[in-house]
Amino acid sequence: MHVDTTHQPLDRCATRPISVAELFTIGIGPSSSHTVGPMRAAFDFAQRAIGLAQDVVAVRCDLYGSLALTGRGHATDTAAILGLAGWEPERVDPDAAPAVLETIRETSRLRLAGARTIPFAEAADIVFHPRDFLPEHPNGIGFTARLADGTGYAETYFSIGGGAILRKGAPVAAANVAVRHPFSSSAELLALGDATGLTIAELVRANEEAWRSGAEADAFLDAVHAAMNACIDRGIAQDGLLPGGLKVRRRARALEQALTGNTPGRNPAEVFEWVSLWALAVNEENAAGGRVVTAPTNGAAGVLPAVLRFYETLVAQTKPAPVRQAGVRCFLYTAAAIGMLYKKRASISAAEMGCQGEVGVACSMAAGALAAVLGGTNRQIENAAEIGMEHNLGLTCDPIGGLVQIPCIERNTMGAVKAINAAYLALRGDGSHVVSLDAVIETMRQTGEDMRTQYKETSLGGLAVNVVEC
């Protein structure tokens, strides 16, 4: 199938300061760009529509490009319905959502924004356009409301990665937040460290005070950390088949039971199996539509938690609790700094970059963050992040059946293990290296632009077409 994916880049305000709260959000699976973003877009549209002078009598959702091609497997349709019904990713209960959807489908009625009941027939009111890519971005979603006076109200949104959305025609947020240490490149970040004597984590924490106090920023990251751990633990506790029809069985629980004494570190030969277990647990939860931390996306949500638990369990296990907590915060602030660079200078959307923009970015973030908590200098941290991406360049996104399962779940284990390797490689050097993080981010961007469409979250190529579905 031929599709025209030539698009005009959206003005994403690359110079705008980014908060850690934009890199880490607590939502639901299976996809940040295809589930979380559309739910936010639908919620925003519903709030706007319900506020119109004329009553809304019907709504329609049109999904374009990648959202249409893999939307059913990524639960884009159900996310849009929940958003229209007034649910946000941060508030929706994954366990309660199926009952909400069942009621809407059985009654063919939807309570728009939780305020006004309107007719809603899913088959007619959620429309997939797999051959049509909107010119601005591969992840396009349009909403139309029919009003009581016969007129209509429409908006178009773009899900640009990590759950972030842009509304077409809306003014781009101005860079009116004055952070203490602005940076848009790793070169600027390193120069700031040289000038101030601060670590990368300290620079980001100081910047965060433009939005909230340092104590509030720490508390936010503590909540993110708790959500990551809860996701790992819930993923290990679950068993059975994942939804979607591929009959993929959860493996985390059985893997934990097979490891020596259920104790990480007891058998040094099993260290990477524990890391893989923690990543598997998160991404199996994600595939099941559970609550995960977007870090920086849902498809790559297992990498950072797995490497962070490696640090806590196998590196810092003998340290006092306050020291471990400080290490966790340092890890997350450092990871956020690296993620900010990818958002500013390229993209974290697999529909634009392939999986190098998701698992590759997560690997880079985790590698730099681990190097930081292991005592690395700013230049060693930058080197670790560069190594993490350099060996993910060209990674495609080709999910079988459009589901965030194969190869996505295992791919997170590879990203986590690779991140640990990258961190230790960087720490064996003095921070000097040939390829800069800026250069590898630009290479990733160019590679993503050159990558053929079928390898960018469309399920039109790669494993998605070479493996027969069960």
**Ordered per-residue pLDDT tens for the chain, 470 residues:** 333 344 444 545 466 899 999 999 999 999 999 999 999 999 999 999 999 989 999 999 999 999 999 999 999 999 999 999 999 999 999 999 999 999 999 999 999 999 999 999 999 999 999 999 999 999 999 999 999 999 999 999 999 999 999 999 987 665 578 999 999 999 999 999 999 999 999 999 999 999 999 999 999 999 999 999 999 999 999 999 999 999 999 999 999 999 988 789 889 999 999 999 999 999 999 999 999 999 999 999 999 999 999 999 999 999 999 999 999 999 999 999 999 999 999 999 999 999 999 999 999 999 999 999 999 999 999 999 999 999 999 999 999 999 999 999 999 999 999 999 999 999 999 999 999 999 999 999 999 999 999 999 999 999 999 996 54
CA distance linking residue 103 with residue 227, whole number of Å: 29
Q: How far is CA 76 from CA 172, 306, 342, 469, in A?
A: 25, 27, 25, 21
Calculate ∠ Cα 260-303-426, nearest 5°.
95
Q: Residue length, the chain?
A: 470
> What interhelical angle do 359-373 and 200-208 show, nearest 10?
110
Give the pLDDT of residue 2: 33
Give the pLDDT of residue 258: 94
CA distance linking residue 156 with residue 404, whole number of Å: 25
CA distance linking residue 31 with residue 76, whole number of Å: 9
Give the pLDDT of residue 233: 98
CA distance linking residue 455 with residue 452, whole number of Å: 6
Give the pLDDT of residue 347: 96
Domain 186-455 matching CATH 1.10.4100: the answer reads yes
Q: How far is CA 338 from CA 175, 184, 442, in A?
A: 19, 10, 14
> What are the structural domain ranges in the chain?
29-167, 186-455
Q: Which residues contact 339 (CB under 8 A, 6 or more apart)?
A: 23, 296, 348, 361, 365
CB 335 within 8 A of CB 67: no
How many Å from the N-terminal Cα to the C-terminal Cα in the chain? Answer: 23
Give the pLDDT of residue 175: 55
Calculate ∠ Cα 279-285-288, nearest 5°.
140
Calculate ∠ Cα 404-279-464, nearest 5°.
25
CA distance linking residue 204 with residue 197, whole number of Å: 13
> What interhelical angle do 186-196 and 200-208 show, nearest 10?
90
Threshold 0.85, pTM exceeds: yes
Q: How far is CA 426 from CA 71, 243, 304, in A?
A: 39, 40, 18
Give the pLDDT of residue 177: 87
CB 163 within 8 A of CB 27: yes
**Residues 72-102: b if buried by 16+ CB within 10 A, e if exposed:** bbbbbbbbbbbbbbbbebeebebeebeebbe
Q: Which residues contact 56 (CB under 8 A, 6 or more apart)?
A: 49, 50, 112, 116, 118, 145, 146, 147, 148, 153
Cis peptide before 30 (omega within 30 of 0): yes
CA distance linking residue 120 with residue 103, whole number of Å: 11
Give the pLDDT of residue 380: 98
Residue range 29-167, CATH number: 3.30.1330.90
pLDDT in tens, 52-83: 989 999 999 999 999 999 999 999 999 999 99
